[in-house]
Structure 1
């Protein structure tokens, strides 16, 4: 399944293990049914000698669920990734991805295994977490591209809020 850059998605009856206590409050162990979320794509590009060598893309869905204390539970899930090699760049299929997000000093993150494909195709990548948040959160992705030698990296971040627009692609 390919998900367009920016579209609405819905979490349905998703259950995750208990989240650790963050900032004195439990982040959330169960996502509510049918929570509307926004889907976005973070893009990173690695250049060398003025030429694009690699491009990494990570599509993720997120939502802010209001809490009784006036804060939010920010839930974010990576959905898929794509890594494209350009200009006959060498390298195999052992790329890495660091996916994380934070708000108010509360942080959640995940590092992929050393096994991501660099074939220009979309691949499922479902990793999810939650943190206590105020009115915004930072979503961050860092790709380590497999070049068969000194592996280059590229990163990008996006600040999202409950009012983040769904942009046309």
Structure 2
């Protein structure tokens, strides 16, 4: 190896090593907190879509983290589950973007259904056990099946 290549090697390898270390730390943190690293379909899912889009409306910062076709949405008899797919769930992105939720199904309300950017979006709201309100917009392939699965208890307030 010539001296120029050897001198440039740390500048090329260091960013990649930092990225791998962050991904490994994120995977270890997720495992230690009981969160899945590899997401799949819940065994008791009544509704499931593997490659949905979502954005959180918690604040302007989280609104900037639009997740396009990398979110899993599942409705089980007890919960609404919104999770990013691997590798989008690494590097602490779900924590920063507020796009990972396990919500009791009884707390879920659909507040708005409408079209935006050539997609049909469903705005889902809930009040968590900690009293904090959560609002997530979901773009699903079959929003009607999602709404039917949630049932009349999650009544839609308005449709555009």
TM-score, length basis structure 2:
0.27
Higher RCO, 1 or 2 (CA under 8 Å, sep at least 6)? Answer: 1
User: Which is higher, the Rg of structure 1 or of structure 2?
Assistant: 2
TM-score, length basis structure 1:
0.26
More strand by share: 1
More helix by share: 2
